[in-house]
Structure 1
Amino acid sequence: MRRKIKQMAKRLLDHVGIVTADISTAVRFWRDGLEMGVKMEERNDEEAVDIVFIDAGGDRTIELIAPTTEDSGIAKYLNKKGQGQHHVCIEVDDIEAVMARLTAQGFELINEAPRRRHDGTLYAFTHPKSTGGVMVELYQKPE
């Protein structure tokens, strides 16, 4: 018996975030060891992190994240959980609608409202305790 599948909105894997204590060693592994190019480097003073995006092919990236202060959220995460995968990022068309739907369905969000990056991108995170242990970043790029 065939079951009709409901058409879902298109969702794209944008990037995978990895927390590291030593961003230069992490960059050397991805760039030099695996010969993957660096797409962008930035310092986010608001979040107190250095970020390097590694080209993973197409529009996909690997985001390397290192704390710049010992009391930042990422530093606390690193001290508690150690280095490794931090989040999976999914690009969405309407972040507020997705956040409302997830909340209505009982999924916990870390952010009550989307945050805005310097380039206008909106982002928010799900809490891993309600999503099977995986933190998911919702990402809405500016039009």
Structure 2
Amino acid sequence: MFMRIDHIGIACHDLEEKIELFSRTFELTVVAREVNEEQGVKEAMLHIADGEGGGSYIQLLEPLSEESPVGKFLARRGEGVHHVAFGVPDVADAMHKIKEKGVRLLDERPRHGSMGSEIAFLHPKDVGGMLTELVQAVTPVQNVKKVHM
């Protein structure tokens, strides 16, 4: 079902500061930035590597408000890993198969994710306490325009 680890989502207070840290320290390149009003975040995707199933990224997330899910996460736990996202060939199919196995879904249907992807989240209590995201990439890695800072 999983093709790769698509990205690791990291919650942070200051997106620009963390972009600079990850770019300088790990020599990662920002390939996409966006504001996702639905999820209440400003985000940046930093490219790690490409593999047979697609690319892998670090996703840096800054909340738009303290009341957003990432804002509440930061208040409870501070900065750090927020979620792990796995690449799947068909997010709706993966959701169906996972639900049949008794795992609760936080999303009833796929929704818009980073870089044009389709995503869905699984309930952390049903997967060992880890917020888990399913990602169906829509944009081939080769067509992602790299944004240099």
Q: TM-score range by the shorter chain?
A: 0.7 to 0.9
Q: Residue 26 of structure 2 corresponds to which residue in structure 1?
A: 34
Report the equivalent of 2:120: 124
Structural mapping, 1:1-143, within 5 Å: 9=1, 11-58=3-50, 59-117=55-113, 120-142=116-138
| Structure with greater contact order relative to length (CA < 8 Å, sep ≥ 6) | 2
TM-score, length-scaled by structure 2: 0.81
Runs of 4+ residues deviating >6 angstroms: none
Structure that is richer in strand per residue? 2
* CA contact 2:120–2:135 (8 Å) conserved in 1: yes
Aligned-partner SS, 2:73: helix
How many residues end up aligned between the 2 structures? 135
Cα displacement string for residues 23-57 of structure 1 (whole angstroms, at most 9, x for unaligned residues): 12211210122222111221112222110111212
Unaligned runs of 5+ in 2: 140-149
**Change in CA separation of 1:52 and 1:120 when aligned onto 2, cut-off 3 Å:** closer
* Paired-residue identity, %: 31
Larger displacement relative to structure 2 (34-43 or 47-56): 34-43
| Structure with larger Rg | 1
User: What CA RMSD, in Å, does the superposition of the two structures yield over aligned residues?
Assistant: 1.8
After superposition, the Cα gap between the structure-2 partners of 1:37 and 1:18, relative to the gap in structure 1 and judged at 3 Å, is: same
